Amino acid sequence: MNSTQSILVGVDYSDQSKNALRAASRMANARSLPLVCFHVLDKEILNQIKKMDAETEKGVLDFAHEKVASFIRDTIGTAHNITTEILVGNPFKVTLEQIEKHQVETLVLGSGGYSSDEGHHIGALASRCIRKAPVEVLLVRNYQDHPFEDIVACVDYSENSNRAVHRAAALATQDKARLKLIHVYRPSVFSETEMGWLGPALPIIPDENIQENLKVQVAGFAAKIAEQYDLPEVSSEVISSHSIHRGIWQALKGMEADLVVLGTRGRTGFKSLFLGTTAEGLVNHSPCSALTIKPADFHYTLS
């Protein structure tokens, strides 16, 4: 096994794949890490390979390697420490295998989903990796063909939320981007259920003292992050909303952010592990690219 950590990116020749490769390359260069590009052959080619003799199969795989290499050269050039992997098998399973093989620090994928008025839904592989891959996952949208400019980090003062803020600050330094910390305050008169949220019978009376204290707390945290990462300014905002998911989503739309960074909740050792409902819903409908940070003790294995 390789003892050096790396950045892993999936490529499939699409525009979103190009943008994922560009983002992965910036991350690898900033952290002086190797870049591993992997491509999973589609089902039609897999079926054809099964009918080939060994020599013909080798020719197909060699052709795939050259096609991926050409895609990489055309997208980011050649001045990189790059390993190329052409993989055959279940996309999710081989992705997990590559994460282990290359000691991956960050998995970068392009969004293969579709757009709607409610956001941008993600593809099946990206969804499974964001939920279950044991590393941080960056999902890059198909229009993100340039460095990030406006990064938002979600703050709830949990340990994993703090890790997300530090990753967001590192990326803001890397891409010379603006960084904003947001905290969503949900008034206690609201309660969420599996069917949605329940509002109060009487008009809402904002708890101004709580919100003012939160604003001071978040602003102080932002100032410390700005000083630690030598950023010119880190702005902050406290948003009042009946739903944490909805509050963050509306904030991202209003700011025209191009990246949101958030920590996820999770338990270790369970194959059925899912993100917390806020993170899962937000990533699936986010109007921008998203970086999800797993808890430090996150664990998932195939058996």
126: domain CATH number? 3.40.50.620
Segment 290-302, tens digit of pLDDT: 999 988 877 776 6
Given 97, 112, 141, the domain boundary residue is 141
Q: Across the chain, what does the average pLDDT equal?
A: 82
Given 141, 156, 177, the domain boundary residue is 141
pLDDT class of 197 with cuts at 50, 70, 90: very low
Q: How high is the pLDDT of residue 260?
A: 93
pLDDT class of 61 with cuts at 50, 70, 90: confident
Segment 6-24, tens digit of pLDDT: 999 999 888 889 999 999 9
What is the rounded average pLDDT of the residues 260-288?
A: 62
> Could you give the percent of the chain with pLDDT greater than 70?
80
Same domain? For 70 and 123 the reply is yes
Q: Where are the beta strands (DSSP E) in the chain?
A: 6-10, 35-40, 82-87, 104-110, 114-116, 119-121, 136-140, 150-154, 178-185, 191-193, 196-198, 234-240, 259-263, 289-293
Q: How high is the pLDDT of residue 237?
A: 93
> Can you give the residue range of the structural domain that contains 178?
147-303
Same domain? For 171 and 299 the reply is yes
Contact 17, 108 (CB under 8 A): no
What is the rounded average pLDDT of the residues 189-201?
A: 49
Domain count, the chain: 2
58 has pLDDT over 90: no
